[in-house]
Structure 1
Amino acid sequence: FKSRIRYFVGGTCLCSITLFALYVSTIYNKAIATSTTDIIVNSVVVLFVMELDEWIFAALEACSEKWTAHSAESDDSSSDAESRNGSSIAEMKEKIRTQQAQFESQRKEIGMLRSQQEELMLQMEEMKRQSDNSTILREAVKKLHDPQAGAAADAASEFMPQCAESESIDTSLDTDAFAEREI
């Protein structure tokens, strides 16, 4: 907790010195600068004030060696944290590479599945056309058989003698006779 207070006090001092230098340079430029040479001279003064600011910061650092030692320790701990972060970053990069490879393989599989789906769709369309063609063919054969069967049944019924249902009739002779008459 004490180190945080020290950092706060040091940061506040540094910030106040910097703001004071900015204020002084602004007031100085407005009061004195009337030509470009005056502005150049004022810029040199501002640079000197900024250098003075750095000297004061160096003096603050020298007054409290604990701050610099703690700063060095924090640099070491931050480098340890960076190395831990570096190893976790390497792990994350490896995971990303693995996931990208999986993604690419899945993309290829999807492409293959899409091509197989297209082939199946084409095969289904071909099967549907063949089914439609066979249905049309069945209907045509049925239409051809229906008039012939109807005409044959009508012709056979003309020459068949009427008898009771219990009697057995050999119709093969009648159809043979019918066939001879047509010829």
Structure 2
Amino acid sequence: MWLRVNAQQNSVENYRTLLAEIGILAETSPHPQALRLASPTSVQKLPHFSEGVVTVQDLSAQWAAALLEPQNDEWILDACAAPGGKTTHILELAPQAKVIALDVEAHRLKRVEENLARLNQQAIIVCGDATKPEQWLAEIGQSAVKFDRILLDAPCSATGVIRRHPDIKWLRQETDIAQLTTLQKIF
């Protein structure tokens, strides 16, 4: 289980010490905000989780925002944003960025709202299709936005989480992969 320590609120080493004090072992990683727990634990047991000091997020997902290198005052689109881990990470790295968290599924945006609230962050949350910006930009009162950066976690086969959800290997069919590949090519 991987954690992302909110660098605005604590250091990785300090948080690792907090964990050790309550008997939770963790190791650092080459990623500057990441800790790997020796064994999974409930978020309720993580010190200051509800205050936004730490977020559960896979290491590979943590690299996405870091590699994006978001800057304050930039317009950043997080397309396919739900459940909001990358959106909140962008805002940890660039708290003054103007972030639009976009997802095509309205019910999934509730998680984005919850994560932003827990971390006391602000983003523009929009339900829409990234391939049809004229529709969702109008919804937020914009006719056009020149984005400085775009993070697109395109709909995928979920093969990146097989180690946590081994049933995916048996649930996916060859036709699923073909359909998702077609959708990814749109982007």
Q: TM-score, normalised by structure 1?
A: 0.17
Q: Relative contact order (C-alpha < 8 Å, sep 6+): which is higher?
A: 2
More strand per residue: 1 or 2?
Answer: 2
Find the structure with the greater CA-based Rg: 1
**What TM-score, normalized by structure 2, do the two folds share?**
0.17
